[in-house]
Structure 1
Amino acid sequence: MPTAVYPGSFDPITLGHLDVIARAAGVFPRLVVAVLVNTRKPVQRDADERAAVIGEALAEAMPHGGHGVEVVKFDGLTVDLARRVGADFIVRGLRAVSDFESESQMAHTNRKLAPGIDTIFFMAALEHAYLSSSLVREIALFGGDVSHMVPPAVLRRLPQVSPA
């Protein structure tokens, strides 16, 4: 069964992330959403909390609660996780040309490290192309409305959201 891994810090998960998950789940019978445990960038919530929020968001937003979508936590190289779960693909979302530059470099690096694993890019839906987790945290810090940016599972935790 074709399997893909969608890695990220998801701090917090946005509607853009959920859109990529939903579209990737339509392509791959098994999609592993991989929450980075030890990211190089500071995170506001530990991996357990971020994984729980993603699970809630999937249950609320996707038909059948995201059947075929698993949420795992991991530390290390994405290609190592992909091998461990039997994935042949890594899913990444692209918002703009600037994303493509860094993501293509990472895709080439991953391909060098694991020649049998390809990266598949999903363009962000236009209505989500501006979204980032750091933008959501910044707006929430100052009391702005982020209800059109994040799923209800994140909104329920907003008093706990702050910028990095």
Structure 2
Amino acid sequence: MSKYRIGLYPGTFDPITNGHIDIVKRGLRLVDKLIIGVATNPSKNPMFSLEERVEMVERELKPLAEEVGVDFEVQQFDELLMHFAEKVNATVIIRGLRAVADFEYEFQMTGMNYQINPNIETLFLMADPRYQTIASKLVKEVALYGGEIAPFVPATIAEAVRAKIADAK
């Protein structure tokens, strides 16, 4: 009998990018249920509130999960990742890697997470080459200076970013 696999893809998603969406598409094929954990992470000075990020992530990703036929949830969290993973019964944490700098950080995190709970595996998916340079932080910076962000995020997200910047002025 196979074990029901619950995957957890955590992140700040401020905003969600095409790179995040690519990792989710690929991760959906590997688990029976995928939980997207939207972290509070106030140290990153998010552009969008936690509630806005949860709503954007759910709107963009739910159709993908329905298309694949995988159970899907978006949940916010404000605690240690491994404690959240235990709470949602995750068997695997899915992480995307863009470059060597990501690997070094993720390598440390995985080692620490393993010390906390060795029963939850971490699975790394390499970013599609088209998305290796995309980071939420850079998307916001490009938008702040009037650059075009349409190649990096879904159209509804680009619109939300532009609106947020206009409201701040």
Settle same-fold status: TM greater than 0.5.
Answer: yes
TM-score by length of 2: 0.89
For 1:64, the equivalent position in structure 2 comes to: 66
Distance 1:149 1:140 in 2: 11
Q: How many angstroms does 1:58 deviate by?
A: 1.3
Letter in 2 for 1:64: E
Distance 2:164 2:129 in 1: 25
Distance 1:42 1:63 in 2: 29
For 1:94, the equivalent position in structure 2 comes to: 97
TM-score by length of 1: 0.92
Q: For 1:116, which of 102, 119, 124 is the aligned residue?
A: 119
Letter in 2 for 1:96: A
- Using the TM superposition, name which of 63-72 and 17-26 deviates more: 63-72
Letter in 2 for 1:100: F
Q: How many angstroms does 1:157 deviate by?
A: 0.7
Q: How many angstroms does 1:63 deviate by?
A: 5.9
Q: Is the 8 A contact 1:56 1:153 kept in 2?
A: no
Q: How many angstroms does 1:161 deviate by?
A: 4.3
Letter in 2 for 1:122: L
Distance 1:144 1:59 in 2: 29
Instruction: Summarize deviations over 1:92-138 as a string: whole Å, max 9, x none.
Output: 10000111000010001000011111110000000000000011001
Q: How many angstroms does 1:10 deviate by?
A: 0.5
Summarize the alignment of residues 5-16 of structure 1 with structure 2, pairs less than 5 Å apart: 5-16=8-19
**Secondary structure of 1:119's match?**
strand
For 1:154, the equivalent position in structure 2 comes to: 157
Instruction: Summarize deviations over 1:25-57 as a string: whole Å, max 9, x none.
Output: 111111110000244321111111001001111
Q: Is the 8 A contact 1:30 1:69 kept in 2?
A: yes
How many residue pairs were aligned? Answer: 161
RMSD, aligned α-carbons: 1.5
Please, which runs of 5 or more residues in structure 2 have no aligned partner? none
Superposed structure 1 runs of 4+ greater than 2 Å apart: 63-67, 158-162
For 1:81, the equivalent position in structure 2 comes to: 84
For 1:135, the equivalent position in structure 2 comes to: 138
Structure 2 vs 1, CA of residues 90 and 39 (structure 1 numbering), >3 Å: closer, same or farther?
A: farther
Q: How many angstroms does 1:65 deviate by?
A: 5.7
Larger radius of gyration: 2
Summarize the alignment of residues 42-53 of structure 1 with structure 2, pairs less than 5 Å apart: 42-53=45-56
Structure 2 vs 1, CA of residues 63 and 113 (structure 1 numbering), >3 Å: closer, same or farther?
A: closer
Q: How many angstroms does 1:59 deviate by?
A: 3.9
